[in-house]
Amino acid sequence: MASGVLVFAEQRDGKVRKVVYELLNIGKQIADKMGGPLSAVIVGKNVGELGKSLGKFGAQKVYVADGDLFQLYSTEGYAGAVTAAVKAADPAVLLVGTTAMGKDLTPRVAARLGVGAASDCTKVEVEAGKLVATRPVYSGKCYVKVEFAGTPAIAAIRPNTYPVAAEAGGSAELVNVDAGVSALKAKVTQVVKSGEGKIELTEAEKIVSGGRGMKDKANFKILEDLAGVIKAAVGASRAAVDSGYAPVDIQVGQTGKVVNPSLYMAFGISGAIQHLAGMRTSKVIVAVNKDPEAPIFQKADYGIVDDLFKVVPLMTEEFKKLLAE
């Protein structure tokens, strides 16, 4: 009988993504309520030691698919590996992060297992011994509760939804799994990285974002200066991206990235529904716009009606003073 929780431990370049530790935290709580062990599955090349380290964060068993085939992400290879781990672990719940990789992987694994999946969940809880997930619909205007008919119940969790698991020591048993894939029909030959060394938007605790009101690509420099002071990531609205002010990889919104930071600062962003869908769950929203009727103010916790080109430099200087104290 299926029991316990299995967490997909996404790794990039030999580093476990932050969302994995969040999944281990909520996974442990779910496993305690539903019964069964907390385990994880990690896929890649030379990831055995990385998998073993997850034992410090509560994973009792880690299923490992290791080899040249998994050096770079491929839908076919990773889906085969995670499916094999699910069959070996027989969990009641599979948790995945709502990342670029997680969005691609989740429906593939669900289809192979013949079960349902809930994407972009903002909450998961146990009711009457079963997993119930809460997720947004209609661009985040409403939320629905989702129940699962079969096992495993697959839930993809939005990053920054839960605190990371505390390191408590312990070790994990490593179990090698066979993905059942000897050759890939399509494989990634090269990964071209952008934003090297910058904070990943979906994992950022603080985001400074600019819209059409930035007026020019060069003006994003003042946002980068502010972001550097408060250690934030820089984002942009679709309008700014379409205008050529910012690259598409930092676009926040329904057709960009969905973010969930502790602090979201919107400069020159009107607050179209497409943008709000990507950031409305931020814990604290600060908006600066010259238009007092801008829709963004309806969602903002703090709003400033003024010229962003006056406000941003002042904020940067004030943050410098505060952080120097």
Q: What pLDDT shows up at residue 196?
A: 61
Give the pLDDT band (50/70/90) at residue 197: low
Give the pLDDT band (50/70/90) at residue 186: confident
Q: What pLDDT shows up at residue 247?
A: 94
Inter-residue contact 90 to 206 (CB < 8 Å): no
Closest CA to 57 of 89, 113, 18, 91: 18
DSSP assignment string, 196-215: TTSPPGGG-SEEEEE-GGG-
Strand runs labelled E in the chain: 5-8, 11-12, 15-16, 38-44, 61-66, 93-97, 117-121, 123-127, 130-137, 142-147, 153-157, 173-176, 206-210, 233-236, 263-267, 284-289, 302-305
Is the pLDDT at 177 greater than 70, yes or no?
yes
pTM equals 0.89
Inter-residue contact 213 to 296 (CB < 8 Å): no
pLDDT average, residue stretch 110-136: 95
DSSP-derived 3-state class of residue 143 = strand
Q: What pLDDT shows up at residue 244?
A: 96
Q: Cα separation of 1 and 146, whole Å?
A: 22
**Could you report the per-residue pLDDT of 11-43, keeping only the tens digit for each?**
998 899 999 999 999 999 999 999 999 999 999
Helix (H) or strand (E) holding 310: helix 308-324
Arithmetic mean of pLDDT over the chain? 93
Could you tell me which residues are beta bridge partners of residue 209? 235, 266
| CATH (one of 3.30.930.10, 3.20.20.220, 3.40.50.620, 3.30.300.30) for 5-176 | 3.40.50.620
Inter-residue contact 18 to 164 (CB < 8 Å): yes
Is the pLDDT at 191 greater than 90, yes or no?
no
Give the pLDDT band (50/70/90) at residue 198: confident
From-to residues of CATH 3.40.50.1220 in the chain: 201-324
Inter-residue contact 95 to 155 (CB < 8 Å): yes
pLDDT average, residue stretch 62-91: 94
Q: What pLDDT shows up at residue 64?
A: 96
Q: Cα separation of 271 and 284, whole Å?
A: 15
Inter-residue contact 300 to 199 (CB < 8 Å): no
Q: What pLDDT shows up at residue 200?
A: 86
Give the pLDDT band (50/70/90) at residue 119: very high
Inter-residue contact 122 to 135 (CB < 8 Å): yes
Inter-residue contact 229 to 223 (CB < 8 Å): no
Give the pLDDT band (50/70/90) at residue 181: confident
- Cα end-to-end distance, the chain, whole Å: 57
Could you tell me which residues are beta bridge partners of residue 124? 133
From-to residues of CATH 3.40.50.620 in the chain: 5-176
**Could you report the per-residue pLDDT of 252-282, keeping only the tens digit for each?**
999 999 999 999 999 999 999 999 999 999 9
pLDDT average, residue stretch 44-65: 94
Q: What pLDDT shows up at residue 13?
A: 86
Inter-residue contact 21 to 162 (CB < 8 Å): no
- Listing from the earlier edge strand, what are the strands of the sheet with 263-267? 233-236, 206-210, 263-267, 284-289, 302-305
Closest CA to 288 of 273, 318, 264, 266: 266
| CATH (one of 3.40.250.10, 3.40.50.1220, 1.10.3720.10, 1.10.300.10) for 201-324 | 3.40.50.1220
Give the pLDDT band (50/70/90) at residue 195: low
Is the pLDDT at 222 greater than 70, yes or no?
yes
**Could you report the per-residue pLDDT of 134-166, keeping only the tens digit for each?**
999 988 889 999 999 889 999 999 999 999 998
